[in-house]
Amino acid sequence: MENSIIEELIGGMPSWTEEANCKGADADIFFPERGASTRKAKSICRACSVQEDCLEFAIENSEKFGIWGGLSERERRRINVREFTTQTLGTLVKKY
């Protein structure tokens, strides 16, 4: 079985990824070329039961590329530390 690009990027996967809607999906959906649509990835994330875990992982690990937890890297940078600690990630995701 071939490893996904996400597995290669983070060197092993947290247990919550077993439940992720993106598991087995084409990585290009979540790592689009600059200027390409992120709509499909974000749609998959919105319906995912581990969306908050994914977003938390990306923020804590300063993921620089891709859609994680329904947000792009640019959107994740906009979440400041105060917001991250005082609001649930679900609330933050809805803002974007």
pLDDT in tens, 13-57: 788 888 999 999 999 999 999 889 999 999 999 999 999 999 989
Q: Which residue has the tokens 């803002």?
A: 95
Ranges of each domain in the chain: 5-95
> Tell me, what's the pLDDT at 64?
92
Q: What is the mean pLDDT of residues 58-79?
A: 90
d(CA 37, CA 58): 20
Q: What is the pTM (predicted TM-score) of this model?
A: 0.72
Q: What is the mean pLDDT of residues 62-81?
A: 87
Q: Distance of alpha carbon 60 from its chain centroid, rounded?
A: 12
Q: Which residue would you say has higher pLDDT here, 73 or 95?
A: 73
For 82, list phi and psi in degrees, rounded to 5: -60, -45
